[in-house]
A = this chain, B = another copy of it.
């Protein structure tokens, strides 16, 4: 696409399927895999917002642990240390979406690729390495260096410090509507991967492009070159 100089990807939910966590949950809490992993994810994101707004910071591993503890308590399931460790480690072994590897491999030939994520560097290195795509990324940027979470502009600023480009020429790719809103507010060109047909936020910060998956993104960028 004319004008896009670098592609920056959100990780969780965009490249990696956080729902694959539900299988790990199902294995230890039969019948509760879907509900528990969904609430866990909701709470995890909520805690990133709340802590950031309070001016406090716990890293994403710790936030994920706290959200899991809340969820287990709310759903009245017994979370011992071993199960907790096991479920948290599932976060480092998330599966990429079916089209992730192929789409990134193609895009990699034409754009510098980066990740900008709430995850810690440790988590992001682990999850990209385990799925064999680490080397496709020129940079992995973690909020951990600014100690505040998305959608704070301080997070999106990390891209500007890393690449010498205009905001508009950063193609930001996320499956989270609120992340797209934050990136749009910051001034990036935004590509919303809306796999589940979700509703757009009503904040006048809509995505520049709405796509169904990463293959669709690759196709769009090819057609517009």
Contacts and interface: CB of A to CB of B under 8 A. Distances in A.
Interface stretch (A67-75, A86-94, A163-171, A217-225): A67-75
Interface string A38-70: 000000001101111111100000000011011
Interface string A88-130: 0000000000000000000000000000000000000000000
Interface stretch (A1-9, A13-21, A132-140, A198-206): A198-206
A140 to B, nearest CB: 22
Nearest to A63: B203
Contacts of A69: 202
Contact of A182 (B54, B149, B151): B54
Interface string A139-168: 000000000011111000000000000000
Interface in A185-203: 185, 198-203
Contact of A49 (B49, B70, B200, B203): B49
Nearest to A45: B46
A40 to B, nearest CB: 11
Given A66-B202, A70-B201, A199-B73, A52 B53 contact: yes
A49 B56 contact: no
Interface residues of A, number: 31
Max count, chain B CB within 10 A of own CB: residue among A52, A67, A150, A203: A203
A207 interface: no
Contacts of A150: 53
A129 B40 CA distance: 40
Contacts of A66: 202-203
A55 B155 CA distance: 12
Nearest to A184: B54
A151 B203 contact: no
Interface of A: 46-47, 49-56, 66-67, 69-70, 73-74, 149-153, 178, 181-182, 185, 198-203
